[in-house]
Amino acid sequence: MELKKNVEAALNRQITHELEAWHVYLSISAYFETQSLLGMAKWMRKQADEEMKHAMKIFGYINERGGAVRLEALPAPPSSFSSPLSAFEAALAHEQKNTENIEKLADLAEAEGDKATVSFLKWFIDEQVEEEDSARRNVDLAKMCEGSKAALMQLDYMMGKRESSD
């Protein structure tokens, strides 16, 4: 069964959203590098890698269903933040928006009776629960560090221990 054009267009938009997340996380990683918070920078680069994998998963799905991938221009991500906390808050806001986008996409696929896409998107819906939880935890931990350079350094060290999710 071939993808309906409106579902294909929505999937292509979701690729753009995932690539935007990749772009945002790279930008946050660069910010952390400038602040000498190398553990946080590493954590964000790994998160960027995950977002690229998400985009490519949708890319492959569109092709498997006989659709056409159409890549769009990405907006410039924010390049500076007032604090590590504000960087983590930006990441959380981006994840919340991405969850909303995926849920709308799933609603469209369901309304169109596209059971294959509904099934495919279940992984993304479940993944967003994990993504938001992780982003929210980072915000909470950064809040705990406010005013304590020692706590911030400990958080940076801890985040640098993140392994790939492969």
- The pLDDT score that the predictor gives to residue 163 is 78
pLDDT in tens, 32-74: 999 999 999 999 999 999 999 999 999 999 999 999 999 999 9
Is 102 within 8 Å of 43 (Cβ atoms)? no
Residue 38: other Cβ atoms inside 10 A: 15
Find the helix packing angle between 149-159 and 115-145, rounded to 10°.
Answer: 150
- The pLDDT score that the predictor gives to residue 154 is 96
Tell me what percent of the residues of the chain surpass a pLDDT of 90.
Answer: 95
Query: In whole numbers, what is the pLDDT of the chain averaged over residues?
Result: 95
- The pLDDT score that the predictor gives to residue 162 is 80
22 burial type by CB count under 10 A (0-12 exposed, 13-18 middle, 19+ buried): buried
Question: Taking residues 6-31, what's their average pLDDT?
Answer: 97
Q: How far apart are CA 82 and CA 62, in angstroms?
A: 39
Find the helix packing angle between 115-145 and 84-111, rounded to 10°.
Answer: 160
pLDDT in tens, 83-108: 999 999 999 999 999 999 999 999 99
The third-level CATH classification (topology) of the domain covering 5-159 is Ferritin (1.20.1260)
Q: Does residue 166 register a pLDDT over 80?
A: no
- The pLDDT score that the predictor gives to residue 164 is 63
162 burial type by CB count under 10 A (0-12 exposed, 13-18 middle, 19+ buried): middle
Q: Indicate the pTM of the whole model.
A: 0.92
Domain boundaries defined on the chain = 5-159
- The pLDDT score that the predictor gives to residue 17 is 96
- The pLDDT score that the predictor gives to residue 1 is 74
